[in-house]
């Protein structure tokens, strides 16, 4: 059944009533119905809400600002819960200084060289916010907008629909882009993200999520001893501005070879021009499986100390692995800890950076009448 806003709300209300009738309460951690509470206000008075949902042992808090995952709690091997994503406990810090903590990224996750591209013979100049380049959608990307959020329960799933419409010309991008992102917690505690978008004019789109993972718990120190495996024999080397050269280089014999499990820190200090450019790892892996109709497993992250694991499956062809290099000890998390370099890592499923200017990369063009659809599934274990 195609869900519209009315059935979504009716379904959520019915699930809440059922929970109450059984003597349960639809509260943040135990009940199945997502619960909304006030998180704070923007300077102009706009209220920002936090949505709490839980299912299958995973607890998630999502903000209407940027669709931000403000907290994601999972148990360790002894059942002890920790929030494994970096963030803040107040809206002011998210507005003033977030490096995209937990946010939805659009219209274009990652960099576009000089913020320029041509499509169908027309040139576009995007908002530039990273030296001469455009990063994560420009100065005011999707991470800095307020999203409409509706809760749902559907079978054994619990989740949120997040809506944002970006007007024609916003940040320089052509076409009105209607975006719907679905966050689902399954009965197994998987966090599934489905992205959908339509446009009324040809444009480029590359949506992703920017959770900073630390499976030992946010604020617990570095992730250099996390173990990682990525199913990719090639990656996209970059120039000093972190724009791909266009080559799909082999990872074999380089610090970028994660085909066998190794710790994030094992090769991070190896003298290597690419690591110098990124101040560590800040690169896109060209996943062996390429674009797939269904999400396929591409990466496994494990924290040996807690036993917590994260497996990522995606329909996307690329994975940006960013080792938190620009965390510089100036931000303080919700638990009161200062975040320093390497205190978290991002695994952003997406198309390759600068695809609009790289004819050999898979296309990121979306045309009128088409629907952009991608899915990424995060599976947790311990
Ligand atoms: C990029 C980094 C950037 C970070 C922003 C990542 O997706 O790859 O270069 O600094 O986002 O926090």
Q: Is 73 a catalytic residue?
A: no
pLDDT at residue 27, as a whole number: 36
Q: How far is the CA of 322 from the centre of ligand 1 (A)?
A: 7
C-alpha 51/C-alpha 62 separation (Å) is 5
Closest atom of ligand 1 relative to the 282 alpha carbon: 8
210 annotated active-site:
yes
| Topology, domain 227-365 | Beta-galactosidase; Chain A, domain 5 (2.70.98)
pTM for the model: 0.92
Which of 275-280's residues contact partners 24+ apart within 8 Å by CB, and which partners? 277/238, 277/239, 277/240, 277/242, 278/238, 278/242, 278/323, 278/325, 279/325, 279/326, 279/341, 280/323, 280/324, 280/325, 280/341, 280/342
Q: How far is the CA of 154 from the centre of ligand 1 (A)?
A: 34
Distances, alpha carbon 284 to alpha carbons 129, 233, 379, in Å: 20, 12, 21
Q: Which of 73, 150, 316, 348 is catalytic?
A: 348
Check whether the bond before 107 is cis (ω within 30° of 0): yes
- Cα–ligand 1 centroid distance for 242 (angstroms): 10
Atom 7 of ligand 1 has which residue's CA nearest to it?
Answer: 110
**Burial tier of 116 (Cβ tally within 10 Å: 0-12, 13-18, 19+):** middle
pLDDT the model gives residue 283: 98
Q: Atom 12 (ligand 1): residue with closest C-alpha?
A: 99
pLDDT on residue 263 = 98
Would you give per-residue pLDDT tens digits along the chain (382 residues)? 233 333 333 333 333 333 333 323 333 344 589 999 999 999 999 999 999 999 999 999 999 999 999 999 999 999 999 999 999 999 999 999 999 999 999 999 999 999 999 999 999 999 999 999 999 999 999 999 999 999 999 999 999 999 999 999 999 999 999 999 999 999 999 999 999 999 999 999 999 999 999 999 999 999 999 999 999 999 999 999 999 999 999 999 999 999 999 999 999 999 999 999 999 999 999 999 999 999 999 999 999 999 999 999 999 999 999 999 999 999 999 999 999 999 999 999 999 999 999 999 999 999 999 999 999 999 999 9
Catalytic residue among 73, 145, 170, 210: 210
Query: What residues does 346 pair with on adjacent strands?
Result: 322
Residues with CB under 6 A from ligand 1: 99-100, 242, 282, 320, 322, 326, 346, 348
Domains in the chain: boundaries:
227-365
Listed in sequence order, the DSSP H helices in 242-316 are 273-278
CA of 303 to the centre of ligand 1 (A): 22
List the alpha helices (DSSP H) in the chain.
5-21, 91-97, 273-278
Token pair belonging to 15:
């699930």
Q: Per DSSP, what are the bridge partners of residue 332?
A: 338
194 C-beta neighbours (distance < 10 Å), count: 18
- Angle 289-204-373 (CA atoms, 0-180°, nearest 5)? 50
225 alpha-carbon distance from chain centroid: 22
Question: Nearest C-alpha to atom 9 of ligand 1 is from which residue?
Answer: 282
Per-residue confidence (pLDDT) for residue 32, from 0 to 100: 81
Whole-number pLDDT of residue 18:
33
Distance 157 CA to ligand 1 centre (A): 31
């Amino acid at each position: 059944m195609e869900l519209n806003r009315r059935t979504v709300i009716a379904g959520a209300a019915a699930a809440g009533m059922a929970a109450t009738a059984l003597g349960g309460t639809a509260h943040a951690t135990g009940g199945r119905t997502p619960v909304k509470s006030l998180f704070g206000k923007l300077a102009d008075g706009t209220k920002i809400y936090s949505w709490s949902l839980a299912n299958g042992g995973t607890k998630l808090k999502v903000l209407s600002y940027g669709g931000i995952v403000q907290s994601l709690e999972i148990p360790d091997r002894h059942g002890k819960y920790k929030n494994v994503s970096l963030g803040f406990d107040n809206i002011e810090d998210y507005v003033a200084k977030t490096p995209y903590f937990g946010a939805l990224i659009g219209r274009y996750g990652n960099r576009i060289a000089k913020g320029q591209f041509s499509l169908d013979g027309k040139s576009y100049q995007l908002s530039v916010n990273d030296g001469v380049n455009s990063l994560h959608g420009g100065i005011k990307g999707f991470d800095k907008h307020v999203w409409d959020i509706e809760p749902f329960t559907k079978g054994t799933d619990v989740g949120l629909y997040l809506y944002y419409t970006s007007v024609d010309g916003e940040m320089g991008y052509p076409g009105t882009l209607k975006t719907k992102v679905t966050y689902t917690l399954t009965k197994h505690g998987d966090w599934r993200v489905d992205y959908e978008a339509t446009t009324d004019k040809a444009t480029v789109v590359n949506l992703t999520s920017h959770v900073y993972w630390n499976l030992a718990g946010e604020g617990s120190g570095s992730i250099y001893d996390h173990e990682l495996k990525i199913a990719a024999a090639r990656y996209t080397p970059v120039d000093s501005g972190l724009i791909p050269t266009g080559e799909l280089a082999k990872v074999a014999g380089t610090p970028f070879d994660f085909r066998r499990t190794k710790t994030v820190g094992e090769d991070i200090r190896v003298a290597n021009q690419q690591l110098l450019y990124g101040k560590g790892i800040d690169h896109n892996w060209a996943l062996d499986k390429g674009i797939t109709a269904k999400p396929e497993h591409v990466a496994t992250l494990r924290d040996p100390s807690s036993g917590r694991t994260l497996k990522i499956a995606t329909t996307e062809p690329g994975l940006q692995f960013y080792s938190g290099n620009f965390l510089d000890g100036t931000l303080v998390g919700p638990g009161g800890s200062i975040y320093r370099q390497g205190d978290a890592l991002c695994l952003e499923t997406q198309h390759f950076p600068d695809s609009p200017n790289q004819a050999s990369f898979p296309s990121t063009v979306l045309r009128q009448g088409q629907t952009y659809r991608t899915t990424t599934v995060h599976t947790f274990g311990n």
